[in-house]
Amino acid sequence: MAAPIVVHEGSPSDGRRVTVRGQILGLAHDDNDLIEFLRRAGPPDAWDLLDDPSWVEWRGGRAHEWDAA
């Protein structure tokens, strides 16, 4: 089963698009932005999910890196 949260490849202007089950939540520029998007979406203990591949898939770059591609 695919992870429900996807942090996509970095954009040319920095930041990474975040989706949950295909729905775009926004463009995150750091872990705090990502946590805020997840808080609004409802997963409990979002900080604990960031490094769990069953919850979060980091595409096109390393986890927790937010600079342009």
**The pLDDT of residue 63:** 95
Output the tens digit of pLDDT for each of the chain's 69 residues: 789 999 999 988 789 999 999 999 999 999 999 999 999 888 778 899 899 999 999 999 899 998 765
Encoded tokens for 27? 């463009």
**The pLDDT of residue 42:** 83
Contact 28, 37 (CB under 8 A): yes
DSSP code at position 50 = T
32 contacts: CB under 8 Å, gap ≥ 6? none
**The pLDDT of residue 1:** 73
**The pLDDT of residue 41:** 86
Positive or negative, the CA dihedral 53, 43, 50, 4 is positive
**The pLDDT of residue 59:** 96
